[in-house]
Amino acid sequence: MSATSQRTGKPDGRAARAAVTRARILEAAADLFTTAGYTGTSIGAIAAKAGVGEQTIYYAFGTKKAILAMALDQAIAGDDQPTPTLERPWATDALADPDPCGQLRRQAAGAGDIYLRAAPLLDVVRSAAPTDPDLSELWSANLRQRLTVQLAFAHALASKTRLRDDLTPETAADIALAILSPETYNLLAGERKWPHAAWQAWAERALISMLTTLAC
């Protein structure tokens, strides 16, 4: 970073151009991963689609797995900011909602917004994980992260209402993890062509009926 950028707190021209290039590479890679698959996508193909040299990609990301991981992180977050899911506005609003039905509706809506952006890339990782150790770990890490989020929601829900059939927060989190899974989203919204709104309405009803005895 230049002395001018250090004084002003703004990125210099070189940093801004690098950021634009990285974004272009990630966009090209995400498109190729979801159309040609992880194995069928080469660094050369990504470079050609992004209009950069292969060395630029290696310098910016290092490996194909790193490109996929970064593309997935940004698709899940919706931006390039390193803000954890539980600190995102939709998640903090869900946790803080005093109405348990309101919390569950926010959970379904938040998961839906993520899957609108990230479901195809998540399916790429899931599909390649059985034969690729690196992507197996990436998939496992994503699953752990989703479980952490659902555990926080389940504990918040248990503080607002009695859970159905005396479920523990841990079991409630597992149920929510299954309902709000990318596999279920891809099955219903992708394979079965449900409109996104229909999936979200189903997810809301499933969460409410399986986790609580409330008539929301």
The residue with tokens 């992180």 is: 73
CATH homologous superfamily of 3-74 equals: Homeodomain-like (1.10.10.60)
User: pLDDT at position 13, please?
Assistant: 85
User: pLDDT at position 14, please?
Assistant: 85
Cα within 13 Å of Cα(71), Cβ side: 26
User: pLDDT at position 2, please?
Assistant: 43
Domains in the chain: boundaries:
3-74, 83-211
Measuring CA to CA, how many Å separate 68 from each of 42, 76, 194? 12, 12, 27
Measuring CA to CA, how many Å separate 19 from each of 13, 155, 180? 10, 39, 32
Tens digits of pLDDT across the chain (216 residues): 444 445 555 556 888 888 999 999 999 999 999 999 999 999 999 999 999 999 999 999 999 999 999 999 999 999 999 999 999 999 999 999 999 999 999 999 999 999 999 999 999 999 999 999 999 999 999 999 999 999 999 999 999 999 999 899 999 999 999 999 999 999 999 999 999 999 999 999 999 999 999 998
User: pLDDT at position 174, please?
Assistant: 98
